[in-house]
């Protein structure tokens, strides 16, 4: 949140338009950008401060006002963020009525989505949620920026540095209890190294520190609810029914740390093919392992899911790395080399393709989503250049 605020302050001096050469003598074409007006931010539970801030900070820098509907599961963090922004505005004498917080259930969010005064709705959540939000905003000719589900994969090539790969895979797959949009959910490993890598991963999983996330050293905290835990268990059972083999974990609920919290063991499941449960996003620490023989097969497996958020490849082969990043490789909005799928820096635009929604937030030129362009023609001559040499004199 702090970093994106710093970024937005600098961005406020870089909302560049263009000067375009005109075919008409004595004329100049220019592109200018203007605020959209009201931006509605609908955020999810898993990053209750970050997702709000990278939408709100950029929107405010672009001259918009913001109405925020956070997840009903995170009301305290939402109120804290709202008060911090209000206090900051008061301290520097900035307007304090540019941001409003709406706490409530689904009905509150629906009113925000349907209100024609809201120029842009930027919504983070599941693909199911996006299927509802997108058409409703489009029906009133509003704009939407959707950040939806991810079913992120990493390809591990024969030349990969396995020490590096194990660290990147475990953190991306098990960290935050698998509750990131960019969590690693599918591992596509070359057959020659699959057994070696899987053995190292299962050994690492067996030692994962699970517990209170406020304790230093904890990697895996609780799931958001017991409902999420039930969903995780159901996905594991479906994967087993479809031929998958659980290698470690299993979704067993851990009650020693906090009996009422939904702590669970992260799971690795080895599968022979991408069945329907593998092609779905389960928001929990489940990692499906597949094998491949050729690079082309790996890319085909990687791209054969409806989602397209984050991806990575572990390889020391430059040709493979470049092919993975090319238009013939990963079809995701984020493609990494020798690093896991999770995490993102604010300087790069964040978002994905296909059922992930196609939106981009935060860095690069994502600010354009929060503004409207206008093309300006300026005639500084004493003549009016008309098409087909029309003359009214």
C-beta neighbour count of 253 within 10 angstroms: 17
Gap between the Cα atoms of 216 and 224, Å rounded = 20
Instruction: Return the DSSP state at 252.
Output: P
Look up 147 and say whether it is catalytic: yes
Which of these is catalytic: 132, 147, 345, 353? 147
Half-sphere exposure of 126 (CA within 13 A, CB side): 9
For 74, phi then psi, to 5°, come to -130, 55
- The string of DSSP codes covering 42-70 is E--SSSTTHHHHHHHHHHHHTT-EEEEE-
For 391, phi then psi, to 5°, come to -130, 135
Q: Closest Cα partner for 21 from 377, 353, 292, 382?
A: 377
Gap between the Cα atoms of 27 and 91, Å rounded = 46
Q: Report the 3 state secondary structure along 168-200.
A: HHHHHHHHHHHCCCCCEEEEEEEHHHHHHHHHH
By annotation, the residues acting in catalysis are: 147
């Amino acid at each position: 949140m702090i970093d994106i605020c710093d970024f937005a302050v600098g961005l406020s001096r870089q909302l560049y338009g263009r000067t375009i050469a005109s075919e008409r003598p004595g004329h100049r074409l220019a592109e200018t950008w203007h605020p959209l007006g009201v931006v509605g931010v609908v955020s999810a539970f898993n990053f209750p401060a970050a997702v709000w801030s990278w939408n709100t900070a950029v929107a405010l820098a672009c001259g918009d006002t913001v109405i925020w509907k956070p997840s009903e599961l995170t009301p305290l963090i939402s109120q804290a963020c709202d008060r911090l922004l209000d206090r900051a505005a008061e301290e520097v004498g900035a307007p304090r009525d540019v941001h409003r917080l709406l706490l409530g259930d689904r009905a509150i969010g629906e009113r925000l989505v349907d209100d024609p005064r809201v120029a842009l709705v930027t919504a983070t959540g599941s693909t199911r949620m996006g299927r509802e939000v997108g058409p409703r905003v489009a029906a009133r000719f509003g704009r939407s920026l959707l950040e939806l589900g991810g079913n992120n994969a990493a390809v591990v090539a024969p030349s990969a540095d396995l020490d590096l790969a194990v660290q990147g895979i475990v953190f991306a797959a098990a960290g935050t209890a698998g509750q990131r949009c960019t969590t690693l959910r599918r591992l596509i490993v070359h057959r020659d190294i699959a057994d070696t890598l899987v053995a190292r991963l299962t050994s690492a999983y067996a030692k994962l520190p699970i517990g209170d996330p406020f304790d230093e050293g904890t990697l895996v905290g609780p799931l958001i609810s017991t409902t999420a835990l039930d969903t995780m268990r159901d996905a594991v059972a479906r994967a087993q029914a479809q031929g998958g083999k659980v290698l470690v974990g299993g979704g067993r609920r851990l009650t020693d740390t906090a009996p009422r919290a939904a702590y669970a063991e992260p799971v690795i499941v080895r599968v022979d093919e991408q069945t329907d449960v593998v092609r779905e996003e389960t928001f929990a620490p489940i990692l499906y392992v597949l094998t491949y023989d050729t690079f082309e097969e790996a890319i085909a497996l990687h791209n054969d899911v409806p989602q397209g958020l984050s991806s990575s490849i572990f390889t020391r082969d430059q040709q493979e790395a470049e092919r993975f990043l090319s238009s013939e490789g990963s079809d995701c909005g984020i493609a990494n080399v020798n690093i896991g799928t999770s995490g993102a820096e604010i300087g790069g635009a964040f978002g994905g393709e296909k059922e992930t929604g196609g939106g981009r937030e935060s860095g690069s030129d994502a600010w354009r989503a929060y503004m409207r362009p206008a093309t300006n023609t300026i005639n500084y001559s004493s003549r009016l250049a008309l098409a087909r040499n029309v003359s009214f004199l």
